Chain A
Amino acid sequence: MNLLHFLRREKSGLAFTTLELVKAEEQQGHGVEIRQPDETVLYGGVDKPDVHIIHSQISPRRYHDRIPKFMFCHGEPLSSVGNGVSMKAIVDLAPLCEAFIAMRKEEWSAWNAIKRTYVVPKGIDLQRFTPLDVPAHDPKNPASRLSGDPAVLYCEHWRGQRNPLIPLLAMERVSQVLPNARMHLFNVEDKRMYETFSALIAHAKWHTFVRSLMGPVKDEEVNLLYNRADIVVSGLFPLYARGIEAFGAGKAFIGAGYRDEEYEFRCDFTPESMADAIIKAHEAKGQFNFRAWGERKHDVQETVRQATAIYERYL
């Protein structure tokens, strides 16, 4: 099958997810191409696309070309309304699409109200996110394990309400039960966010358990960073995002938006509930195989198999 994706070239979870989908499609023998909405080709090339796959925008010249179109719903419905443009753009494009494809079943009812929506598992590249042997903590070695038992990592993209406030409040509680627990905050790019959390940590005397407040993390270093930690936490709600990459590295992922009923370490978006989940994940160390969980639930190869099966129904 020839698959033409439309993607805006920007550094975002949406783009990373799309590139992983395309890579897996290519590995499964499909012809692939990525274009920006302005038709600039970013990768690959297909003579005649069988389907167009929209990741938020598509070139207007494709609107009525009779090639089946599918919209991948990357964003969370409430955020899509809240940012003032995404939901309107999605609704505008809905009549052109055969169907929507969501990656979180909790969102199905919202997207399905707009267009027939299928749910596929949210996959990650398990060849990219893998367990690594990491040396014991050594303050002089930036590639060694992070300090703490457990070492809890937050490294999401900080912006607006996407910040580590709830995880920090949870860790305050965790540190009362597990005095050796330490938290490491990475990937803060925004100066005001940095200043806010520096002030907050100092004022609340959280130095006792916060050991890092670090700037941007290079994409190629993210897997190593996961491997340096024991537990990866998310401040997102009601969604989760790229944090599930931690499963690829064999690490626990704690996020209030992660609602899989089989997952033992679910939590609500409260400090108390998140603290309980962190402690539970720490106690399960060595007993629960997080890598195997990732392989069963979040393999991008399976995402692609299910998505292409959906496309085939419309050809």
Chain B
Amino acid sequence: MSHDISLLRPCDEVNHHLSTAYASIDDLRSQLGQAKPVSEAYAKKMLHAVPIAEVVDRSEFILERCKGRTVLDVGASGPMHDRIVAVAAKTYGWDREDGEGVTGIDLDNQDLHLPFYQGIELIVCGEVIEHLSNPGQFLRRLRTRYQGVPVIITVPNAFAEAGRAQLARGTEVVNRDHCAWYSWKTLSVLLERAGYSIAEFCWYNGRPLFAEGLIVVTGG
């Protein structure tokens, strides 16, 4: 059955929100400055405390951990990769295109056997998974291939201050190649499903909660 979309009024598609309304103006007035009370079931399913975490410089954080180690850099392009190469004992790289010391692979290709390099001590996966169509599958395969190796994952924050301000003006600021936004909770769930635990968590650039992005280091 097809619908003529032009017959839909704008409010039809959002009428499901009606259940959230207050019963009276006085009720609403008395609770203007407070969070709307929610059921225990709703809270359990929908509300998640975000851990207190510090804000760091993303580059410094990554480079400090790469110093003197054998590193696999996933998304190995640009100045950040060059800086990792400069500080690491040995660096392997994966990116879309082949390059010097970099193997070109499609991380979304489920049939691809991920290359294995002996002695990898740390994997850096910076600003990568938000580009992938199947990030969960990639992370599962990565964990299986490099068991016990910690992974630094960085992603843009879905609730970043700058993005919210632009969105209020009707513009979403996002790389046109991204197909997901991550928050503390959604990234945690993704990693948990891939079999990873989180050993470290911090924000980069900005202030806690509304910073530009998140950094996690998996427990291997």
Q: Which residues of chain A have a CB within 8 Å of any CB of chain B?
A: 9-12, 15-16, 19, 22-23, 26, 34-35, 39-45, 48-49, 57, 60-62, 65, 92, 219-220
Contact = CB atoms under 8 A, between A and B. Distances in A.
B169 interface: yes
Given A62-B10, A65-B10, A92-B169, A16 B18 contact: no
A19 B21 contact: no
B29 interface: yes
Given A11-B32, A40-B20, A60 B170 contact: yes
10 contacts: A9-B28, A15-B29, A39-B14, A39-B17, A41-B17, A42-B28, A45-B21, A48-B9, A61-B10, A219-B29
Contacts of B168: 57
Contacts of B169: 92
Contacts of A220: 30
A23 B26 CA distance: 9
Nearest to A46: B11
A57 B169 CA distance: 10
A43 B28 contact: yes
Given A15-B32, A62-B10, A220-B30, A41 B18 contact: yes
A40 B9 CA distance: 16
Interface in B1-35: 9-11, 14, 17-18, 20-22, 24-25, 28-30, 32-33
Contact of A44 (B10, B11, B21): B21
A55 B18 CA distance: 20
Given A16-B29, A40-B17, 19 more contacts: A9-B28, A9-B32, A12-B32, A16-B32, A19-B25, A19-B28, A22-B25, A34-B28, A41-B14, A41-B20, A42-B20, A43-B21, A43-B24, A43-B25, A43-B28, A48-B9, A48-B11, A219-B30, A220-B30
Given A43-B22, A49-B11, A10 B29 contact: no
Interface string B157-174: 000000000001110000
A105 to B, nearest CB: 27
B22 A42 contact: yes
